[in-house]
Chains A and B, each alone.
Chain A
Amino acid sequence: MADPAVNETVIGSDTTIKGDMTVESRARILGKFEGTIRAKGHLEIADAAQCRADVETGTVQIDGTMQGNITASDKAQLNATARVSGDLVAAKLIVAEGAAFTGHVSVGPDAVKGSGHHTPTPPAPPAPDASDKSGKK
């Protein structure tokens, strides 16, 4: 169903980004990324990419190195060159022979429904009252 003409965000191989990224459709990471990624469509982490992030996405395809928790509402695909460390929740999981993975895994339609604890933290929790300095952190 993915429209090939749909917008795709590409982070190039010579790029390093730290922060939070929200993508409406598709994203492809070829370089380095640190932070959180929220992609409604498809996320691809390419062969030489290094990603240290919590990810929430529809489908994710990993060929590179990934450190962080992954929640895929549809499908997570770990290809042979993937190196993943972190917890993974997905409706469907495909692991190719040769992929390396360590972490807790939950796979199945029910796993995604009850996966609230894997949701990446929002970028900046809004302070209820900036002037209140005596309050909690």
Chain B
Amino acid sequence: MHSLTARSFPLRRPRGVLPMARGAGPAGPRQVFCYHCDHPLTVGAMAMSTNCPGCNKPIILEDIVVKSYKAVFNVETCGKLIVKKGGRVVAQKRIVAHAGIESDGVIQCKTAITGSHVRLGKKSEWRGDLRTPTLIVEPGAKIQTSHFSVPDDPLEHLKKNDQ
């Protein structure tokens, strides 16, 4: 029985935060990790959401695009968080964007964790702790006192040499 009709996942996407479908492309299945329990799962290239087989919680797979003021509790996606010029994200708790963050607007959060690069554009503003493997800051970006960790321990190679 083919019951592949749109199934409404009980997703709690923050109000006013627009999801953006991933760019059309013939890419095959991709592997993502659940941001609740780190369970790995394979999803279709165009999948926008699913339920984690590990914790059974709903997870968002698509990119989240913000173009205006959005105050939310958490921003969580296995895709990217894209804040356009004029956009402002105020997350009371955390931002998790496994595919990275691109900002030309304002981001305020308590902590942000990404699995890919973070780019802060020249007109962007940032406030909140950040853990990311790669950071790109363009001249002109404003950062209020925040703890950055890019990646976890940049002096790891020195410690190895000392031993």
Query: Which residues of A does B touch, CB under 8 Å?
Result: 50, 65, 67, 75, 83-85, 92-108, 111
Contacts and interface: CB of A to CB of B under 8 A. Distances in A.
B138 A108 contact: no
A106 B137 CA distance: 12
Contacts of B152: 102
B136 A96 contact: yes
Contact of B143 (A65, A67, A98, A107): A107
23 contacts: A65-B155, A67-B155, A83-B157, A85-B155, A93-B137, A93-B139, A93-B141, A95-B135, A98-B134, A99-B150, A101-B135, A102-B152, A104-B145, A104-B146, A106-B144, A106-B145, A107-B141, A107-B142, A107-B143, A108-B142, A108-B144, A111-B142, A111-B143
B136 A97 contact: yes
B151 interface: yes
User: Interface of chain A, helix or strand or loop or mixed?
Assistant: strand
Contacts of A93: 137, 139, 141, 143
Looking at chain B, what size class is its interface with the partner chain?
Answer: 20 to 34
B140 interface: yes
A118 B154 CA distance: 21
Nearest to B158: A65
A53 to B, nearest CB: 14
B70 interface: no
Contacts of B154: 83-85, 100-102
Contacts of A95: 135-137, 150
Interface string B117-139: 10000000000000000111111
Contacts of B155: 65, 67, 83, 85
Contacts of A103: 147-148
A114 to B, nearest CB: 10
A92 B155 CA distance: 23
Contact of B153 (A92, A102, A107, A111): A102
Contacts of A85: 154-155
A84 B149 CA distance: 10
Given A95-B150, A97-B134, 8 more contacts: A65-B155, A95-B136, A97-B117, A99-B135, A101-B135, A102-B153, A105-B143, A106-B143
Contacts of A108: 142-144
Contact of A100 (B136, B137, B146, B151): B151
Contacts of A111: 142-145
A94 B143 contact: no
A85 B149 CA distance: 9
